[in-house]
Amino acid sequence: MPEPKLAAPEFSIRSTEQKEAETAVISPPSFSEALRFWFILGWISFGGTTGHITIMYDFLVTKKRWISNSKFYHALNACMILPGPEAHQLSIYIGWKLHGIKGGVASGVLFVLPSVCILLGLSCIYSIYGNTPLLLSVFDGLKPAVLAIIVFATWKVGQKALITPVHYGVAIAAFVLSYFVRIPMPWIVFSVILFGILVHLFFPKHTRLKKKKKGKEEREQDYYIHSEQLPQKIPASRMVKQSIVFLLLWLLPFIGILYFLDDAAFWQKSSLLFTQAAFLTIGGSYTVIPYVAQMVTNKLMWLSKTQMVDGFALAETTPGPLVIVLAYVGFMAGFNHFNGSILMGSVGLLVAAYFTFLPNFILIFMGAPLIEKAQDYPMIQYVLSLITATVVGVIVNLAFYLGGEILFKSSTLSFAAMDWVALGWVFFSLFLLIKYNINMLYLVLISLGFGLLRYFFHF
């Protein structure tokens, strides 16, 4: 599942094979070899952001030594500053460093393609059989686990994000403004950025963040990509050309959709919504998902609240970043708007996926070289820390938003309407996550079995 902007896990133990190979000359990987890894990664990238990063680290740093430890985290930190899912952007960045533009495109596409294909199939099944008693019971088992995962994410992110009383205040304010006042997420993020800049300018002593202790030194020359290499310089002319290319990659499909598909107004709103969502994913997927969920259920009325909750459950069963749930939103929006058309739902999913993930390529190919230099500025680090604190409040908002639908059998929030079995499964799932750090995929499978038990034994 894909997740909020978490601090990268640290690895300090090096294998015997790696130590013995320290003097070996690292040759550049072939494009086909890298392609095989990115393809496999797309199918096994369960476990959220930390899981994605761990898999990439184990293969790219520890096993293959294609990139050094310091360069890996340097790139990850750069991706954390950019909007969008950082694991996806990290794959694009490393693919770009290995094989240029074609490497970045290949790694980025293969990272999300399996989850898009799987979610397309699941969305089709859901749209046809979603109201059958058996499938409803399966979702009844899965949805409490999803709520537990969200609560667990709040706890994990909060441990790292809530550093000072100011960070606690920002998190509380974000929750109150998003849940009770219902201020749109873009305005909250913009306000936090402005607040962070002002605090840093007027109270710089109070904005210094403690630096983590560095691990053991490594020989940078033992890796194909390392920190001692000179930064790649991109001429201004190439930047201009890339800007034109990416503008066309966004504009031409947008115009084509409006011209060739029925109801241009619907497709215009859809394309713009998912493009906007891509640039609002600052601090992780949890920043933007509540905003999109409330837009499509309350304002645009494309999905019911139940369908949105079920979408979270479906997204947890697929590899890739959590923001892939927006592709499901695109499917159900097209399906509902065009009177149950599977074809238009599929088009809606592809439109959502394209406009959600395209900006990641733009930001990496054009912004990463600049961000690498800017990330050492204390102001940027402080503002980023406040945005991460905002994510905590936003996740709590999401938990409240989904909790009413998952834990109560009717729209009336009362003890009489409480689904006590579902509440019990939330606590059991939290126990497995906190005590045993259970893999998300295993929790999903166990919860699916729990849903089937509820169906057959009627409890």
Instruction: Report which of residues 100 and 284 the model is more confident about.
Output: 100
Instruction: Report which of residues 385 and 77 the model is more confident about.
Output: 385
Question: Which amino acid appears at position 341 of this protein?
Answer: S
Question: Which residue's entry shows tokens 């600049």?
Answer: 370
Mean pLDDT of 330-349: 98
Nearest to 143 by CA among 286, 310, 297, 304: 310
**What is d(CA 243, CA 326) in angstroms, rounded to the nearest whole number?**
25
Residue 318's region, left for phi above 0, alpha for psi from -120 to 50, else beta, is beta
Cβ 53 vs Cβ 87: under 8 Å: yes
Cβ 418 vs Cβ 407: under 8 Å: yes
Tokens of 168: 């606690």
Instruction: Judge whether residue 91 has pLDDT over 90.
Output: yes
Dump pLDDT digits (tens) for 108-158: 999 999 999 999 999 999 999 988 898 888 888 999 998 998 899 889 888
> What is the pTM (predicted TM-score) of this model?
0.83
Cβ 97 vs Cβ 56: under 8 Å: no
Dump pLDDT digits (tens) for 44-82: 887 677 778 888 988 998 888 899 887 888 788 778 778
Cβ 148 vs Cβ 429: under 8 Å: yes
Amino acid 261: pLDDT:
96
DSSP 324: G
**What is d(CA 327, CA 346) in angstroms, rounded to the nearest whole number?**
9
Amino acid 243: pLDDT:
86
Phi, psi of 284 (to 5 degrees): 115, 170
Phi, psi of 262 (to 5 degrees): -70, 155
Question: Which residues are registered as beta bridge partners of 418?
Answer: 408
Tokens of 370: 């600049």
Nearest to 85 by CA among 253, 378, 327: 327
Tokens of 191: 């306000």
Instruction: Judge whether residue 458 has pLDDT over 70.
Output: yes
- Residues contacting 411, CB < 8 A, separation 6+: none
Question: Which residue's entry shows tokens 């000072």?
Answer: 164
Dump pLDDT digits (tens) for 267-292: 999 999 999 999 888 766 777 888 89
In our burial notation (b when 16+ CB lie closer than 10 A, e otherwise), range 361-381 reads: bbbbbbbbeebbeebeeeebb
**What is d(CA 218, CA 415) in angstroms, rounded to the nearest whole number?**
58
**What is d(CA 291, CA 270) in angstroms, rounded to the nearest whole number?**
14
Question: How crowded is the C-beta side of 245, counted as CA atoms within 13 Å?
Answer: 12
